[in-house]
Structure 1
Amino acid sequence: MLPCSFGTGGDGVTGQGHGWEGMQWQEWKHVEVIRWRLEQGADPDDLNGSRPLHQAVMSGSPQVVMELALRVADVDALQDGTTALWEAVMENQPDSARALVAAGADPWRQLIAGWSPGRLSLAGPTPNLFTIPDGQQGLSDTERAAVHQARQLLAVLKDIHYEGLGLVCVAGIDAPEAIRRLQAIPVEGSRLHALQKPSWGEDLRTVGVTTVPGGCIVTQPWGYAPQMPGVQKLLSAGTSCYGLYANAKSGDQGSIARNGTIEDWDLIPGGDLDPEDTPTSEDVLQHYLYRHNAVAYACAWAGLHLTDTHAVFGPPDTWVDLPERDYWHS
């Protein structure tokens, strides 16, 4: 008996044609189900325009990855500019990566900004995943330093819950300078006491400001105010900053301001890397190191070094009220 029933729709359906109709997310983990699908005529190379092997890496088991890898026409076929092996490294799936290499995948094929899956793995938790051939470039001193910094930062920001959080990480200025630029007023009296344990629904004009090594963080655990364009423009004069709002409905939203100008908006910090955006070598490494941790990504982008989480979640160095103005169009 097969371990999963075959539905024809509903939540979690990933296959819509080519023999994968009604495929559920959980079924990708069962090699018996995948083998049955393939024996019934499912196309190992086509999942409604995407590639089943890539889907198996993202959602399946190493056994499923191996089953598909031995049946596809090209184990290194591209989807959105990357191979299944690249995705296995990105998603920290070493057993699936080994299965792909055993089926003929090339760890040292350069894909994005000079990075190959093999070289990228040198920056990850399993640097000995692949045998390094003679003459193959390893990590540079700068890249090794970035890996070291990432491990320290992620150790501080491990397993954090940040839904609803807004913050902006500012390079090169401290909290007093940030407060001066914002013309913000320190909170005092009974309101200051109440903010020691802030709750959802606090005033959106109120933000926390904290000096950290490398710069400062302006935070609001309950809202989006720090990421508003007007706030970032004021803070980024002569420097740069990365804003983040962890929107509970639409996901993490990132933005970049430099020298008083919004440079980029609607980014996905710690999310998928789009090869069509022509990322730099540094971009690729940053996305890999901080994948699925938007707060750490924002801090690293601005070159901030945290030793604890109080700059992000409070209590900050100073709670302040932003002056009344249009921060969306200023």
Structure 2
Amino acid sequence: MERILIIAEAGVNHNGNLETAKQLAMAAKECGADIVKFQTARLDSLVSKYAGTAEYQKRNTGKEESQKEMLKKLLLSFEDFIELADYCREIGIQFLSTPFDIESIRFLDNMQDIWKVPSGEITNYPYLVEIGKTKKKVILSTGMSTMKEVHEAVDTLKSTGTPELTLLHCTTEYPAPVKEVNLNVMDTLRSEFGCPVGYSDHTQGIEISLAAAAMGASVIEKHFTLDRNMPGPDHKASLEPDALKRLAEGIRKIELAKGTHVKEPVLSEIKNRDAARKSIVALRNITKGERFSVHNLTTKRPGNGISPMMWNEVIGQEANRDFEEDELIEI
């Protein structure tokens, strides 16, 4: 059984509060996630004073403000992340944070063994080079990207040292419209790059993530929050803990259900074959020496006699004894 990695994307849903971040980490663990992921950035390195907010951020916050004004209220300090990573180790869930600038990459380098590169950084060449130089596994989201851009990012990461890469298909809208999800792109990425492929889900609900898991996603990433009514840009497109728990449980069931590629009877169904299948039986009473034909044979349950697939071999043979109606034929 191939285990699907479940990333609970807390992001900035702590609203800049360390204790809320710890609560998110505990909730992710209790819900069955493998990793709780946050976002680390130095505000002045992330965004200029001229950058406006995205349409979904305006819609979800109900405010007209710059990205810098919005993010200033949402970011944790480096010191907070040191304490948060320690807390995650204490409670037994893997800590991961996405860096959004080179200073944050260097800060996080000693705190985690893998990187999650967000869709927005896929065309940031200096950033990708810095990630590649660490020679750690990378999970790369590909939202908003053309295939050419994905190739360029992959080539940059691999040429600078990335040893192992997982690509996440993603639709970068919050929430993402189902009609624009295009889960089949996972197959395209897998075929094009020959690497594991997963899905970063921004749709509402858990159905699309479950579908992606069934389609072979090796990683499922999903935003979650303690309360979708909290202020902030990402809460409304996030799962609350009860839904995250249902998602994790559903993914684990899908893992079990996918099973083996071998087509053969499994243990639970073997005992049902005799009851469900049919055998060749006497259509009416048959006397010894009478030839079997379509006029005196038929097929009925149970299936513990001669298989109907032997029909042509049985037709024309002589009965070696008397048979009563419905009795299993012997030859």
Greater helix fraction, Structure 1 or Structure 2 = 2
The verdict on a shared fold, with TM-score over 0.5 as the criterion, is no
Q: TM-score, normalised by structure 1?
A: 0.25
Q: TM-score, normalised by structure 2?
A: 0.25
